[in-house]
Amino acid sequence: MLRGIGDDAAVIRSSPGRTLLLTTDLLAEGIHFDLETATFEDIGYKAAVANLSDIAAMGGTPRYMLVAVAIPPSRTSAEVERLYRGLMRACRPYKVELVGGDTSASRHGLFLSITLTGFAQAGLALTRDGARVGDLLYVTGTLGDSLAGLNLLVTGRKRRIPAGGGSNERHRQYLRYLVDRHLHPTPRIKEGQLLATHRLATAAIDLSDGLSGDLAHVCEESGVGAEIETTALPLSPACRAYAAASRTDPVRLALTGGEDYELLFTISPGNRAKLDRLAQRTGCRFSRIGTVRPKRFGLRLRRGNGSLRRLAIAGYQHFQDLRTIPQGAAWSR
Amino acid sequence: MLRGIGDDAAVIRSSPGRTLLLTTDLLAEGIHFDLETATFEDIGYKAAVANLSDIAAMGGTPRYMLVAVAIPPSRTSAEVERLYRGLMRACRPYKVELVGGDTSASRHGLFLSITLTGFAQAGLALTRDGARVGDLLYVTGTLGDSLAGLNLLVTGRKRRIPAGGGSNERHRQYLRYLVDRHLHPTPRIKEGQLLATHRLATAAIDLSDGLSGDLAHVCEESGVGAEIETTALPLSPACRAYAAASRTDPVRLALTGGEDYELLFTISPGNRAKLDRLAQRTGCRFSRIGTVRPKRFGLRLRRGNGSLRRLAIAGYQHFQDLRTIPQGAAWSR
């Protein structure tokens, strides 16, 4: 970094052997975030993670962030400061520097635009288009936690956590875990870098829209189909407990829940043992969830009983649709 | 450019000997633009110019653009397409490529976020902090045209162009010129590159907020003061005619009018002849408007009669404040 805030543009030194990664996001109040279910600090934190996660999905190292905020008259400068504090808190573990940005007025609602640069070793950036028929499908971490956490935030403020088996203390732990997974997701920077530097992933994407939607992106870019084994989907104990208590299909949470910010990636079958060893050595969680199929196969789910059915692809609508769903209805279908 | 739209981040090859420039802008409907005085294509065009101009002010070559748009439900996809058409039209002369972006919903108003990368030769990027006492102050082009054009758009739709001397045909030409300068400003890419590669400018900034505000930025970053000679401010014949007809002080238009997107720069006095020769050879217009003074001098205007007065610094409020000013009042003070 040669120059940052205080000039017309940030000036960044480039290094031989490295390619620049560049990603941008525009987040709108009432669409991507909601001040009833998240604080300003939460919003800043998650906005940063959404961009950090894009760099993770490329196997890169995030580096410089530019932020622009449009602020409605009803908001105070203290609130904007809290937003920046959340942004910086999310960036700190990765030593990402805030190098520029802009604050302006908005007539209605808060808008937040983030641009993040990163670097990858030349030729090693992970892309969406390299999945080949026969490759194995993997995800990092666990799925569906963020959607469960969001639903608890939207409905739980009134209803508290749904009743179910187990102790009250464990329920409180689950509640905290799911809400935290929604408000403070972890960008899988380390996992993405490992997959890139070990040349393991043939394709990768981060799960911002939900597994079914993001898998569709990879399949489209790679010109392939895919089969997901529902019994292989990694679910946290908290998500399972939430699903049981709210009579929700946990597979549905895992498939449609957005904002998990886990990585979905494919590897050649010959690299399976290598990936397992890497997981053991690094403590990273990689779960095999299916197989890449020919394009004509489409996207299908294999149920525990062996039956196959077509995967419905619904883009994740962040929090906004939940508002219009009667409480509980979303989980009981 | 290695990869563009369709992945998590754009992947950009870096070259030895070049530094990366990065700038971002968030534009809000009702604050930075208004659909009553500009079409979607105009808005896209000018949003692109605002960012191109930031790269110009660094002496750089613009290269890749990322765009994110948040669209209220009232807008159609055809309108968004026109916005993109305007963006691309402004980028085409500079071979800037659109390499990524995002379209999402907005509850209220259109928001547009643009990120632009560029390159400068290592060590030659122009910055705001290099002005030294005794340096000469210059601007490119002419000043105040954009504000005159905006005022014509806001009030002229009802009042038409203010009456005055001269033929009707010339008045129509002036009207078109001023409105075009407001809607389709020219980013001074070529001028910025010349100043950088010939190592002429000690500091530079683009005039987005108006001469008085942007000069204050340069003086603050450089730790200096400045004296502007009002008689030296370059004014177009159209701006002079508009000022006369609307009984406005043209100096006021030049000092406070934003969005001219001309460059303000400083050079060492020893380089004056070199700059003059460069202007002659390239056809670029560079006007000397004053001198860099010590910090304690502050910012002052020297009038034609030799008197000095303090420069009032008012940040340009884009179109929004004009709405609340009684017609004509802004120009008759």
Q: Domain map of chain A by residue range?
A: 18-121, 136-322
Alpha carbon of B55: minimum distance to chain A alpha carbons (Å): 7
Instruction: Return the structure tokens found at B15.
Output: 């070259």
**Domain A136-322 fold:** Phosphoribosyl-aminoimidazole Synthetase; Chain A, domain 2 (3.90.650)
Q: Are the beta carbons of A28 and A71 closer than 8 angstroms?
A: no
Reported as a single tens digit per residue, the pLDDT across A113-148 is: 999 989 888 889 999 999 999 999 999 999 999 999
Contact between chains at B68 and A20 (C-beta distance less than 8 A): no
Determine, for residues A113 and B117 on separate chains, whether the beta-carbon distance falls below 8 Å. Answer: no
Give me the residue from A24, A70, A106 closest to B68, CB to CB: A24
CATH topology agreement for domains A18-121 and A136-322: no
DSSP character at residue A33: B
- pLDDT over 90 (residue A303): yes
Measured between alpha carbons, how far is residue B155 from residues B149, B162, B331 in Å?
10, 10, 12
The CATH code that applies to domain A18-121 is 3.30.1330.10
Residue of A nearest to B208 (CA): A8
Beta-strand relationship, B97-105 and B201-206: unpaired
Answer whether residue A289 shows pLDDT above 70.
yes
Give B85-100 pLDDT, tens digit per residue: 999 999 999 999 888 7
The span from the CA of A36 to the CA of A48, in Å, is 19
Nearest to B153 by CA among B318, B332, B28, B263: B318
pLDDT at position A10, please? Answer: 67
Q: Which pLDDT value is given to residue A166?
A: 61
Provide, for chain A, the percentages of residues in helix, strand and coil under a 3-state DSSP scheme, each rounded to the nearest 5.
40, 25, 35
Question: Which residues does chain B have within 8 Å of residue A4's beta carbon, measured at their own beta carbons?
Answer: none
The pLDDT assigned to A7 comes to 67
Query: B333 — contact with chain A (CB < 8 Å)?
Result: no
Which residue in chain A has the smallest CA separation from B120?
Answer: A11
A33 pLDDT band, cuts 50/70/90, is confident
What rounded mean pLDDT belongs to chain B? 87
User: Which CATH class, in words, describes the domain spanning B136-332?
Assistant: alpha beta
Nearest C-alpha in B relative to A67: B24
Among chain A residues, CA nearest to B66: A24
| Residues of A (22-41) whose Cβ lies below 8 Å from B | 22-26, 28-32
User: Tens place of pLDDT for every residue, chain B, 333 residues?
Assistant: 344 455 666 666 667 788 888 888 889 998 888 888 889 999 999 999 999 999 999 999 999 898 989 999 989 989 999 999 999 999 999 999 888 767 888 988 899 999 998 988 888 999 999 999 999 999 999 999 999 999 999 886 545 555 555 678 888 899 999 999 999 999 999 999 999 999 999 999 999 989 999 999 999 999 999 999 999 999 999 999 999 999 999 999 999 998 999 999 999 999 999 999 999 999 999 999 999 999 999 999 999 999 999 987 755 544 433 333 222 222 222
Q: Do B58 and A8 touch (CB under 8 A)?
A: yes
Retrieve residue B129's tokens: 């902090």
Mapped onto helix, strand or coil, the DSSP state of residue A16 is coil
Interchain CB distance below 8 Å, B105 and A24: no
Q: What is the DSSP letter of A165?
A: S
Q: A106 and B6 in contact by Cβ < 8 A?
A: no
Mean pLDDT of chain A: 87
Burial class (CB in 10 A: 0-12, 13-18, 19+), B151: buried
The more confidently predicted of residues B120 and A192 is A192
- State pLDDT tens for residues A49-60: 999 999 999 999
Looking at residue B7, what is its pLDDT? 66
Neighbours of A43 (CB within 10 A): 25
B97: contact with A, CB 8 A cutoff: no
Widest distance between CA atoms in chain A: 62
Could you give the percent of chain A with pLDDT greater than 70? 86
**Distance (Å, whole) CA A227 – CA A288:** 11
Question: Which residues of chain B does A113 touch, with a Cβ-Cβ cutoff of 8 Å?
Answer: 24, 26, 68, 111, 113
Cα torsion A80, A4, B297, B53: sign: negative
In this complex, is the C-beta atom of A166 within 8 Å of any C-beta atom belonging to chain B? Answer: no
pLDDT above 60 for A315: no
| A177 shares contact with chain B (CB less than 8 Å) | no
Residues 257-316 of B with CB under 8 A from A: none
Query: Residue B208 corresponds to which tokens in the numbers above?
Result: 């987005």
Residue A15: pLDDT band (50, 70, 90) is: confident
Distance CA(A11)–CA(A191), nearest Å, equals 29
In angstroms, the CA B181 to CA B235 distance is: 13
Judged by CB atoms closer than 8 Å, whether chains meet at A19 and B13 is answered as yes
* Residues of A whose CB is below 8 A from B68: 24-26, 113
CA separation for the pair B92, B85 (Å, rounded): 10
pLDDT band at A295 (very low <50, low <70, confident <90, very high): very high
Chain A from 57 to 96: CB within 8 A of any B CB: 57-58, 60, 64, 66, 68-70
For residue A320, pLDDT over 50 is answered with no
B201 contacts B66 by C-beta, under 8 angstroms: no
Model pLDDT, residue A167: 73
C-alpha dihedral over B219, B220, B222, B225, to 10 degrees?
Answer: 40
Cross-strand bridge partners of residue B204: B265
Distance CA A5, CA A62 (A): 18
Residue with the larger pLDDT of the pair A202 and A170: A202
Residue partners of B39: CB distance under 8 A and separation at least 6: B82, B86
Spatial neighbors of B82 by CB under 8 A, at least 6 apart, are B39, B40, B41, B44
- Partners of B2 on chain A (C-beta within 8 Å) are 19, 125
Q: Is A25's CB within 8 Å of B107's CB? A: no
B249: contact with A, CB 8 A cutoff: no
- Residue from B162, B167, B42 nearest B112 by CA: B42
Q: Do A128 and B6 touch (CB under 8 A)?
A: yes
Contact pairs from chain A to chain B, CB under 8 Å: 218
How close B57 gets to chain A, by Cα (Å)?
Answer: 7
- Helices and strands of chain B, counted as H and E runs: 10, 12
- Residue A224, token pair as written in the block: 């392939």
